[in-house]
A and B are shown apart, each in its own frame.
Chain A
Amino acid sequence: MSRPPRDVAGALVALAVRLLPAARRGWGQAMRAELLQVEGGRARLGFALGCVRVALAQPAALRALGHLAATAAAVTLVLAGGVTYPGARFEIIALVAVLAALAWRGGRPGLLGPVGRSRTSRAVRAAGYALACGYLVVSVMDHRGPQLLGPQDGLLPGMITLVLYTVVTLAITARGSTAGPACLLSGIGAGLVAGLACFLVLPFERVLPPLADGLPGHGLWLLLVVAGAPGAAMVVVAWRTRSARQALMTVLCAGAVCAAVVALLGYGAFLLFPDQMPGIVPRGAGPPAVRHALSRLEAGDEYIAGLIWGCLLVAVLGAMMRPATRRFTRGLQALTVAGAVLALIGAAAGEEGAAVLVVVATLVAGMLALFAGPRGERIPSGAGGQVGS
């Protein structure tokens, strides 16, 4: 078989073949073979440009161009949006790059994509993207101008959390995911209810009485909602799908969403009502603006703890999402679950430093288990999930 001549037209058709999605690659080969029959430099160039046009008009290519445009727009927003502090600039641009790469992977066949066929999967993924974009916009708005606290801007924990949540959201809503629509819907719904209840019973912004204090019985019954909503969702999913894995994923999903809701409400309150928030640091800590920034950082510690638990649940969810067929993956799954239990014991015993280290190790093990698991696993019939690709 002869190779196409190495001229501009040949290079353009080769480019078109590369740009075409895998399902259309045969058409690319047809174009390449056809080019050999086209005579005359002008006609060849016209034919080749037509082929490139065809490739660029494919939905996959348009999506890729959309990703590039959105990434460029986000980077421009960071650079032109007044984020002048170098550390914040670097962190936000790195976050944009990671999210753009994840969104790109989320559209391609594999662990993270493409999105499942059910409406629930699409809605959950769209909501995840919307939250990530919202976080980016808020980060940019929040880091404009000089940063009073320098490198202690609290951006990094949020970024790591966002990336972890995004990875698991993409994996759980991907076509090859074992999580069925019932699991997703019940888990997220229960997490939202439990998160709101949990936020109301926690001390508000760390130092103020809980918002539930004004409710009958000081709102202590809300604790039942915190524990009951995920439990009820788990039972419902177990009953509907007859699958222990679906039930487990539901309760993990509910816990992760609950933690995220608590953190979002806590941080959101400081962002939306800055003047009504408590001053936690002493008056001598600096000028009012610095004291306010420090108070916000201090108040956020409570919510950072919530986020850490959320990340831990996300790691366990990621690890348990795919059935382990290899000994290596089973080992990673066991390590993740053991790490989560150990972190819980460490935190309960007051060994917070050690608990955080265990959490970090658990996150790594969980993500490794997720990426090492089998791809496109089919779930048993009746489990209510999507069919793997």
Chain B
Amino acid sequence: MTRTRRPSPQTVKVLAALAADPSTWRYGYELGQQVGIKAGSLYPILMRLTDRGLLEASWESDPPVGRPPRHLYRLTGSGLALAAQVAADAVERDRPGVRGELRSAW
């Protein structure tokens, strides 16, 4: 039986930030600043989410003159579903009487 591991707290933050406005494409650095995660941790999370088909990555189509296009990110349908599930799990865990069970992080 396959067990779905719970995402790490940092991944949960990224998912929540992206799910807050799912239609908007986000920049990596700005996203990292918003959730308080440095590049060394943020990019592996973005890479993993992209590899698993949870995140869509695209290049800026019309960057300002003299500046290279930046990478943009937003959740896919599966990513949104995961974000919703993670948020629901968090609410369930925070209910009085329910003890959160820590598992290995992503």
Contact = CB atoms under 8 A, between A and B. Distances in A.
Interface of A: 1-2, 24, 26-27, 29-34, 36-38, 46-51, 53-54, 57
A37 B43 contact: no
7 nearest A-B residue pairs (beta carbon) = A50-B39, A50-B40, A30-B71, A53-B40, A33-B68, A33-B70, A54-B43
Contact of A27 (B30, B47, B66, B67): B47
A27 B69 contact: no
A330 B40 CA distance: 51
B29 interface: yes
B47 A24 contact: yes
B81 to A, nearest CB: 24
B71 A34 contact: yes
Interface string B72-90: 0000000000000000000
Contacts of A30: 28, 57, 70-71
Given A2-B66, A30-B70, A33-B69, A50 B29 contact: no
B38 A37 contact: no
B40 A37 contact: no
Given A27-B47, A38-B29, A54-B43, A33 B71 contact: yes
B68 A51 contact: no
B8 to A, nearest CB: 15
B25 interface: no
Given A34-B27, A34-B29, A37-B27, A51 B67 contact: no
A57 B29 contact: no
Nearest to B42: A50
A107 B93 CA distance: 45
A27 B51 CA distance: 12
A36 B43 contact: no
A346 B39 CA distance: 67
Nearest to A30: B71
A31 B69 CA distance: 11
Contacts of B38: 46-47, 50
A32 B68 CA distance: 9
Interface in B10-29: 27-29
Given A30-B70, A34-B39, A37-B27, 17 more contacts: A2-B66, A24-B47, A27-B47, A29-B68, A30-B28, A30-B57, A32-B68, A33-B71, A36-B67, A37-B29, A37-B30, A38-B29, A47-B29, A47-B38, A49-B40, A54-B40, A57-B44
Contacts of A32: 68
30 contacts: A1-B66, A1-B68, A2-B66, A2-B67, A2-B68, A27-B46, A29-B68, A30-B57, A30-B70, A30-B71, A31-B39, A31-B43, A32-B68, A33-B68, A33-B70, A33-B71, A34-B27, A34-B39, A36-B68, A37-B27, A37-B70, A47-B29, A48-B39, A50-B39, A50-B41, A50-B43, A51-B39, A51-B40, A53-B39, A54-B39
Nearest to A32: B68
A37 B39 CA distance: 13
A382 B35 CA distance: 53
Nearest to B44: A54
Contacts of B67: 1-2, 33, 36
B66 A34 contact: no
Interface string B35-65: 0001111111011000000000100000000
Contact of B39 (A1, A2, A47): A47
The residue among B29, B43, B70 with the most chain A CB atoms within 10 A of its own CB is B43
Contacts of A50: 38-43
Contacts of A47: 29, 38-39
Nearest to A54: B43
Contacts of B69: 33
Contacts of B39: 31, 34, 46-48, 50-51, 53-54
A216 to B, nearest CB: 56
Nearest to B46: A27
